[in-house]
């Protein structure tokens, strides 16, 4: 592929298999995470959760706990700025104990005497929406947000008058579920004078500094956050979840305090994917053209009133000038809802696609043909803003076609519920694609400082962290920009608040949001190096900087590459380390797109698609995936190992969302029942069979993003959001539409009228 960066074969670091030197330590269990940090005198803390889902604490007495031998500090909601005596869900934190060991801390929790005034609670969002429902304690009147998050483009009413066919469907609730990354939240907090230090597992050290400093009433420059690595984060480790209680206990005890949440509380205190319901009304011409899309969404979760951006996938993927959305939050007494791998896009893609499939059936169109008809295409501008898209057609169409081709969709497609395999199971085929987010639209908060040392190597620290993968992309971007060898650039092991600011390793934003600052910092260094190399000093080249280029550790004269100096030679002349500095330039075009000039603001989305072939056992409701493919628009692959890691890790998350993940709450008490890995039916490697996964390197499409470094952008969220083909395949197999997820044997049998 040729673009403004030249042919791909010219690259020395970008797109090469650059091994993460910490990878072996991670997979062999030798890598140190926050919970492995053992400062002298460390205490262990446990957190007490409330017994009821909706209550007022009328009294709390910690004297028996404080008297227990080995207990060194106890705090309650009265000491903690973010805790309250008003309880809105079971296990809401009300006290914490630091003791010489975990068992003692755990025993002390039983000795804290708490009395409650129990209030009526409601857990099911459908129940919470009823006018006679108990008030969940979030809004003064009722449980629904007083006004929706609303948007309308074009004229939806007019669009419906132009329609030949109206499709009017309600789908959901999609079930919520918890995160389940390998590493439960861990933090070790300690004080040195009036400075507080944290060693945590985090995907945003700078953000956790902000949250802790604010809660503790401290200036930012006295709060220091270090993260060696994170055993999975996925949108669950970006705020001060357990840090403040650790800091308060540490201050009270005068010793370092360690909290690792037990699995039960970890699953409660983290984010849960929203439970979401959708009412969607579509106006359609007989040929499939959309004339109007009207959507109303309800999502549960009290932390933000439930409102999110579930409509994003359909709004940005389907061509429809007349589009309307209302998003309502439904408060209830379950734990917090929020980012789950991706904020709102998996839920939105799932529910809107169920209606899309129903519309295709109404029109008598093949679902692939229907998507071809309504999807955005090359050369289109963003329908909301009229701004350019960063990749042609956002890659969505290419992803759709690639997925269809790999799975053989056109030859295998059949009408719903008509094909039986020789073994008696029902055969189904499904496809899905949408334009997903990849973060980093703005990103002014990210910056980078690179040190070129006196021997010509580079060391830098990152404000972003290692989330079960190395900073390989940033390293490759620096090496490529400076014409250095990959191994001569080294990122420090700690993501921390001593480094330049990182805006957070979430939202699939790091490739662009951290990649552009390091590229700009590398260009800053390059200008300094070339100024010296072009000079007429000893061994230097006596040309102008514009005459120079660099590759393989050499800075050479473009017109005569045999004349060169090495980076090390230049640095000997410089005589000491130099600094390159760069920041994020904003989401502006690096190259012209259509009539838009360099520097124009853009809309950022990237395509993703999947296709699935399933067999459904009508006797048991069991779904087996026979063939599967996941296709991603990567812009450009900078770090192949990380990119493949995203797609490999995305595969089980996709299957789990489609078929397994399901938080189950006791309908009477609101307590999460399936909090461990026995009750939570997370599919294992045996349930997510790699042998049926047809995804290969050709499924990482390179569309050359108009903003990202070397044309790249993030793929983390798209890699988990495009699972819906599995659900479409199940519905295609059984010929009945299941309108909720996950599609368990129970739901399949119910749909078939057998349960």
Partner 1 sequence: MNKITHLNATTLAEATAALGSNAAVVAGGTDIIGSLKGMIFAEPPSNLVNLKTIPGLDYIKEEGGVLKIGAMAKLTDIHESSTVSSTYPALADAARLVATPQLRNMGTIGGNLCQEVRCWYFRAEHNAFHCFRKGGDTCFGVAGDNRYLAILGGQICFAVCPSDTAIALTALGATLVTTERSIPIDDFFVVLGNNLNDNEIVTEIQVPAPASGTKQAFIKFAERRSIDFSISSVAVATNSSETKIVLGGVAPVPYRATAAEEFLAGKSINAANAASAGEEAVKAARPQTMNRYKVQITKTLVERALIAAK
Q: Considering only residues 348, 582, 621, 635, which one is a binding residue for partner 1 as defined by CB under 8 A?
A: 621
Q: What token pair was written down for 723?
A: 């699972």
DSSP 690: G
Q: Tell me how far apart the alpha carbons of residues 218 and 366 are, in angstroms, rounded to a whole number.
A: 60
Question: In this complex, which beta carbon is closest to partner 1, that of residue 161 or of residue 676?
Answer: 676
Cα distances from 706 to residues 73, 602, 644, 753, in angstroms, run 55, 9, 22, 51
Q: Tell me how far apart the alpha carbons of residues 399 and 192 are, in angstroms, rounded to a whole number.
A: 53
Angle at 367 between CA 417 and CA 626, to 5 degrees: 55
User: Contact between 182 and partner 1 (CB under 8 A)?
Assistant: no
Shortest distance in whole angstroms from residue 279 CB to partner 1 = 26
Q: Considering only residues 16, 54, 107, 237, which one is a binding residue for partner 1 as defined by CB under 8 A?
A: 107
Question: In this complex, which beta carbon is closest to partner 1, that of residue 20 or of residue 183?
Answer: 183
Q: What does the DSSP assignment read for 586-613? A: -SB-SS-BTTBPTT-B-B--EEEEEEEE
User: Contact between 678 and partner 1 (CB under 8 A)?
Assistant: yes
Which residue in 484, 64, 595, 124 sits closest to 330, CA to CA?
Answer: 124
Q: What token pair was written down for 684?
A: 């294992």
Q: What token pair was written down for 158?
A: 């007019």
Q: Considering only residues 204, 665, 710, 723, which one is a binding residue for partner 1 as defined by CB under 8 A?
A: 665
Shortest distance in whole angstroms from residue 683 CB to partner 1 = 6
Which residue in 609, 151, 163 sits closest to 371, CA to CA?
Answer: 609
Shortest distance in whole angstroms from residue 665 CB to partner 1 = 8
Contact 579, 527 (CB under 8 A): no
User: Contact between 126 and partner 1 (CB under 8 A)?
Assistant: no
Question: In this complex, which beta carbon is closest to partner 1, that of residue 111 or of residue 381?
Answer: 111
Q: Considering only residues 32, 36, 110, 115, which one is a binding residue for partner 1 as defined by CB under 8 A?
A: 110
Shortest distance in whole angstroms from residue 685 CB to partner 1 = 8
Q: Considering only residues 676, 690, 697, 698, which one is a binding residue for partner 1 as defined by CB under 8 A?
A: 676
User: Contact between 679 and partner 1 (CB under 8 A)?
Assistant: yes
DSSP 175: P
Q: What token pair was written down for 58?
A: 């009328």
Beta strands in 647-739 (DSSP E): 700-701
Shortest distance in whole angstroms from residue 64 CB to partner 1 = 16
Shortest distance in whole angstroms from residue 109 CB to partner 1 = 8
User: Contact between 755 and partner 1 (CB under 8 A)?
Assistant: yes
Shortest distance in whole angstroms from residue 104 CB to partner 1 = 9
Q: Tell me how far apart the alpha carbons of residues 564 and 550 are, in angstroms, rounded to a whole number.
A: 9
Question: In this complex, which beta carbon is closest to partner 1, that of residue 2 or of residue 686?
Answer: 686
Contact 277, 355 (CB under 8 A): no
Interface region with partner 1, contact rule CB under 8 A, candidates 194-202, 464-472, 508-516, 661-669: 661-669
Q: Considering only residues 19, 552, 677, 698, which one is a binding residue for partner 1 as defined by CB under 8 A?
A: 677
Site string for partner 1, 77-106 (x = CB under 8 A): -------------------------xx--x
Question: In this complex, which beta carbon is closest to partner 1, that of residue 547 or of residue 624?
Answer: 624
Cβ-count burial of 516 within 10 angstroms (0-12 exposed, 13-18 middle, 19+ buried)? buried
> For the chain, give me the number of helices (H) and strands (E)?
21, 26
Site string for partner 1, 578-617 (x = CB under 8 A): ----------------------------------------
Q: Considering only residues 81, 379, 594, 667, which one is a binding residue for partner 1 as defined by CB under 8 A?
A: 667
Shortest distance in whole angstroms from residue 666 CB to partner 1 = 5
Q: Which residues pair with 607 in a beta bridge?
A: 435
Alpha helices in 330-436 (DSSP H): 345-363, 367-374, 396-407, 409-412
Q: What is the rounded end-to-end Cα distance, in angstroms, of the chain?
A: 54
Shortest distance in whole angstroms from residue 96 CB to partner 1 = 16
Q: Tell me how far apart the alpha carbons of residues 201 and 318 are, in angstroms, rounded to a whole number.
A: 39
User: Contact between 620 and partner 1 (CB under 8 A)?
Assistant: yes
Q: Considering only residues 134, 408, 417, 745, which one is a binding residue for partner 1 as defined by CB under 8 A?
A: 745
User: Contact between 660 and partner 1 (CB under 8 A)?
Assistant: yes
| Stretch (H or E) spanning 284 | strand 276-284
User: Contact between 264 and partner 1 (CB under 8 A)?
Assistant: yes
Which residue in 92, 83, 80 sits closest to 54, CA to CA?
Answer: 92
Shortest distance in whole angstroms from residue 622 CB to partner 1 = 7
Q: Considering only residues 111, 490, 674, 735, which one is a binding residue for partner 1 as defined by CB under 8 A?
A: 674
Shortest distance in whole angstroms from residue 651 CB to partner 1 = 16
Question: In this complex, which beta carbon is closest to partner 1, that of residue 104 or of residue 630?
Answer: 104
Q: Tell me how far apart the alpha carbons of residues 326 and 299 are, in angstroms, rounded to a whole number.
A: 11
Q: How far is CA 123 from the centre of its chain?
A: 26
Site for partner 1 in 36-55 (CB under 8 A): 51
Q: Considering only residues 100, 649, 664, 692, which one is a binding residue for partner 1 as defined by CB under 8 A?
A: 664
Site for partner 1 in 404-423 (CB under 8 A): none
Q: What token pair was written down for 352?
A: 């809107």
Question: In this complex, which beta carbon is closest to partner 1, that of residue 103 or of residue 579?
Answer: 103
Shortest distance in whole angstroms from residue 125 CB to partner 1 = 16
How many Cβ atoms are within 10 Å of 731's Cβ, its own excluded? 25
How many Cβ atoms are within 10 Å of 189's Cβ, its own excluded? 27
Shortest distance in whole angstroms from residue 447 CB to partner 1 = 44
Question: In this complex, which beta carbon is closest to partner 1, that of residue 419 or of residue 687?
Answer: 687
Q: How far is CA 90 from the centre of its chain?
A: 26
User: Contact between 683 and partner 1 (CB under 8 A)?
Assistant: yes
User: Contact between 258 and partner 1 (CB under 8 A)?
Assistant: no
User: Contact between 120 and partner 1 (CB under 8 A)?
Assistant: no
Shortest distance in whole angstroms from residue 34 CB to partner 1 = 21
Conformational region of residue 599, where left means phi above 0, alpha means psi within -120 to 50, and beta covers everything else: left
Shortest distance in whole angstroms from residue 681 CB to partner 1 = 5
Number of residues engaging partner 1 in binding (CB under 8 A): 37
Omega of the bond leading into 742 within 30 degrees of 0 (cis): yes
Q: Considering only residues 673, 690, 696, 698, which one is a binding residue for partner 1 as defined by CB under 8 A?
A: 673
Contact 730, 429 (CB under 8 A): no
Q: Which residues pair with 616 in a beta bridge?
A: 426, 623
Q: Considering only residues 140, 386, 686, 691, which one is a binding residue for partner 1 as defined by CB under 8 A?
A: 686
Interface region with partner 1, contact rule CB under 8 A, candidates 163-171, 178-186, 201-209, 743-751: 743-751
Angle at 431 between CA 344 and CA 350, to 5 degrees: 20
Question: In this complex, which beta carbon is closest to partner 1, that of residue 546 or of residue 678?
Answer: 678
Question: In this complex, which beta carbon is closest to partner 1, that of residue 286 or of residue 746?
Answer: 746
Shortest distance in whole angstroms from residue 605 CB to partner 1 = 34
Pairing, β 323-330 against β 578-583: unpaired
User: Contact between 750 and partner 1 (CB under 8 A)?
Assistant: yes
Question: In this complex, which beta carbon is closest to partner 1, that of residue 549 or of residue 687?
Answer: 687
Which residue in 640, 611, 612 sits closest to 700, CA to CA?
Answer: 640
Question: In this complex, which beta carbon is closest to partner 1, that of residue 582 or of residue 621?
Answer: 621
Question: In this complex, which beta carbon is closest to partner 1, that of residue 607 or of residue 652?
Answer: 652
Q: What does the DSSP assignment read for 602-657? A: -B--EEEEEEEEEEE-TTT--EEEEEEEEEEE-SS-S-HHHHHHHHHHHHHHHHHH
Q: Which residues bind partner 1 (CB under 8 A)?
A: 51, 102-103, 106-107, 110, 264, 619-622, 660, 664-669, 671, 673-674, 676-679, 681, 683-684, 686-687, 744-746, 749-750, 754-755
């Amino acid at each position: 592929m040729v673009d403004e960066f030249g042919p791909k074969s010219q690259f020395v670091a970008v797109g090469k298999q650059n091994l993460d030197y910490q990878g072996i330590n991670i997979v062999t269990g030798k890598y140190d995470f926050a919970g492995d940090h053992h400062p002298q005198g460390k205490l262990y803390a446990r957190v007490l959760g409330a017994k009821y889902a909706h209550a007022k604490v009328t009294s709390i007495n910690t004297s028996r706990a404080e008297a227990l031998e080995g207990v060194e500090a106890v705090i309650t909601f009265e000491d903690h700025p973010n805790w309250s005596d008003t309880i809105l869900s079971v296990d809401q934190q009300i006290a914490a104990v630091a003791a010489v060991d975990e068992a003692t801390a755990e025993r002390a929790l039983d000795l804290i005497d708490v009395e409650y005034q129990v209030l009526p609670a409601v857990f099911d969002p459908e129940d919470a929406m009823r006018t006679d429902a108990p008030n969940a304690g979030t809004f003064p009147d009722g449980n629904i947000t007083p006004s929706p998050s609303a948007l309308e483009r074009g004229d939806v009413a007019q669009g419906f008058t132009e329609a030949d066919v109206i499709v009017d469907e309600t789908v959901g609730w999609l079930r919520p579920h918890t995160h389940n990354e390998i590493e439960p939240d861990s933090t070790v907090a300690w004080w040195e004078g009036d400075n507080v230090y944290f060693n945590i597992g985090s995907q945003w050290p700078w953000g956790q500094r902000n949250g802790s400093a604010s809660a503790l009433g401290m200036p930012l420059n006295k709060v220091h956050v270090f993260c060696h690595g994170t055993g999975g984060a996925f949108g669950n480790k970006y705020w001060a979840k357990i840090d403040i209680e650790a800091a308060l206990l540490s201050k009270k005890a005068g010793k370092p305090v360690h909290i690792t949440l037990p699995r039960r509380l970890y699953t409660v205190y983290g984010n849960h994917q929203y439970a979401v319901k959708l009412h969607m009304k579509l106006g359609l011409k007989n040929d499939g053209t959309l004339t109007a899309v009207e959507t109303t969404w309800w999502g549960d979760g009290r932390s933000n009133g439930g409102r999110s951006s579930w409509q994003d996938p359909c709004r940005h993927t389907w061509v429809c000038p007349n589009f309307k959305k209302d998003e309502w939050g439904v408060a209830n007494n379950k734990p917090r809802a929020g980012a789950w791998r991706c904020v709102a896009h998996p839920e939105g893609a799932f529910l809107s696609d169920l209606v899309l499939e129903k519309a295709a059936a109404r029109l008598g169109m093949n679902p692939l043909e229907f998507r071809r008809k309504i999807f955005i295409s090359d050369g289109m501008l963003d329908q909301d803003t009229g701004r350019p898209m960063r990749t042609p057609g956002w890659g969505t169409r290419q992803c759709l076609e690639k997925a269809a081709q790999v799975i053989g969709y056109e030859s295998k497609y059949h009408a719903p519920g008509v094909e039986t395999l020789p073994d008696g199971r029902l055969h189904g085929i499904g496809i899905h694609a949408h334009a997903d987010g990849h973060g980093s639209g703005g990103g002014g908060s990210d910056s980078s400082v690179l040190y070129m040392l006196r021997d010509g190597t580079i060391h830098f620290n990152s404000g972003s962290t290692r989330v079960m993968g190395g900073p390989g992309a940033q390293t490759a971007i620096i090496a490529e920009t400076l014409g250095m060898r990959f191994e001569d650039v080294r990122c420090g092991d700690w993501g921390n608040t001593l480094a330049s600011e990182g805006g957070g390793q979430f939202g699939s934003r790091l490739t662009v949001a951290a990649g552009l600052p390091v590229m700009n910092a590398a260009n800053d260094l390059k200008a300094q190096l070339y100024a010296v190399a072009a000079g007429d000093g000893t061994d230097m080249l006596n040309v102008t900087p514009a005459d120079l280029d660099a590759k393989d550790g050499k800075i050479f004269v473009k017109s005569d590459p045999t004349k060169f100096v090495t980076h090390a030679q230049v640095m000997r002349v410089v005589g000491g380390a130099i600094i390159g500095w760069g920041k994020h330039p904003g989401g502006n075009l690096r190259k012209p797109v259509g009539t838009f000039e360099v520097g124009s603001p853009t809309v950022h989305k990237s395509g993703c698609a999947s296709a699935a072939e399933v067999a459904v056992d009508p006797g048991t409701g069991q779904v087996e995936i026979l063939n599967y493919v996941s296709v991603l628009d990567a812009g450009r692959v900078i770090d192949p190992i990380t990119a493949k890691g995203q797609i490999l890790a995305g595969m089980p998350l996709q299957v789990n969302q489609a078929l397994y993940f399901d938080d189950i709450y006791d309908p009477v008490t609101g307590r999460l029942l399936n909090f461990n890995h026995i009750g939570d039916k997370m599919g294992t490697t045996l349930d997510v069979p790699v042998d049926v996964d047809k995804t290969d390197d050709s499924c990482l499409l390179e569309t050359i993003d108009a903003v990202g470094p070397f044309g790249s952008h993030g793929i983390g969220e798209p890699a988990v959001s495009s699972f819906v083909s599995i659900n479409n395949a199940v519905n295609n197999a059984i010929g009945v539409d299941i309108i909720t997820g996950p599609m368990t044997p129970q739901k399949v049998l119910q749909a078939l009228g057998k349960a």
